[in-house]
Amino acid sequence: MRVAMISMHTSPLQQPGSGDAGGMNVYIASTARQLARTGVSVDVFTRATRPSQGEVVEVEPNLRVINIVAGPYEGLDKESLPTQLAAFAGGVLLFARCAALNYDVIHSHYWLSGQVGWLLRDVWQVPLVHTAHTLAAVKNEHISAEDSPESEARRICEQQIVDNADQLVVNTREEALNLERHYDAVPDSITVIPPGADTELFTPGTERATERCRRELGIPLHAKVVAFVGRLQEFKGPQVLIRAVAELLRRDPHRNLRVIICGGPSGRSATPEQYRELAEELGVARRIRFLDPRPPEELVTVYRAADVVAVPSYNESFGLVAVEAQAAGTPVVAARVGGLPIAVADGKSGVLVDSHEASAWADALACLLDDDAARIAMGEAAVGHAAEFSWPRTAANLAELYRGVIEHTPERCYSRRAAG
């Protein structure tokens, strides 16, 4: 089986945690690797952002990343990418034709890629599987006061993809219901396949390993540590954590608390400085350390160094950071939104918070930070909960879905030709 994965706006080779790279990058890279290791040939098509990388990157046997030139390498933000959809689609078609490649199925990720996948599906006459990862209607429903709403143009494009894809893949049942409610998706066209985590990399550390992690990060050994991992944008909620920390220290100025915020800015107006300035304004800057995004091999150090990982997003399709942290034995305090109630077992592997108010988050954090026995028990339970999610299982479910839609393609193509 040969699969064409489309990830136009961000490459799976890009470092997650900054720019437009995040959980979707981890999802694509992880599922593509696992599929490749089972003998499935996977080509991931993405927009070229630097000439030095070359057109084809051989990642491992059966897995390649194809960099398609569409627009300038640099200086093109995500909002301008729709102007390059035709150029990108043309580049994919040219590459496949010149290499004499025939794909069995297309799997597009995010709405920009879905538009390209829709065109390729009709040209190649092979089925289209689409994963939205985020939806305009859902983001606008859960938007923070500081964020800008998603455009109506994006929502329309998403509707077209929902209407034309052969199968829609979602992470949770809630995502399926969102597609039905906001986009009138047919339930039979939706398949729920939970994502996973690298449970071989993200593992609990010993007490000595935790001390080593804190030394490497310059964190006091005896402080209570809260970590945030992700892109620095309002939708991910780093400002919620900073305000909650200020509230905790207002209640108890002598609390021995430190915070790690690991990630890079994302979006037109986002900058690390705005969160540093907020910390300065609230008088907690000396308690917070900002770290640049880092690869998974180094990210595990952050998870192990933390007593608690905070995920204060306004919505998450699933919440990969929450699962990775739990796999590393660290309980999670997360917003009760999107897929996080599935990623986090409330009261067992972490705590879910019903609002984004600083007082509510301060209460939830204090609940774990001040109760060592409960926090340690949750950390132990978190490892078992995270073990329920694995990338090999996700990839196996995707391969089964691909085989199913491929079997039905001849009927769809025949009926379409007959109708023409």
Q: Which residues are documented as binding site for 1D-myo-inositol 3-phosphate?
A: 9, 20-25, 78, 110, 134, 154
Binding residues for UDP-N-acetyl-alpha-D-glucosamine: 15-16, 23, 231, 236, 294, 316, 324
How far apart (Å, rounded) are the C-alpha atoms in residues 163 and 29?
A: 27
Binding residues: 9, 15-16, 20-25, 78, 110, 134, 154, 231, 236, 294, 303-304, 306, 316, 324, 330
Binding residues for Mg(2+): 303-304, 306, 330
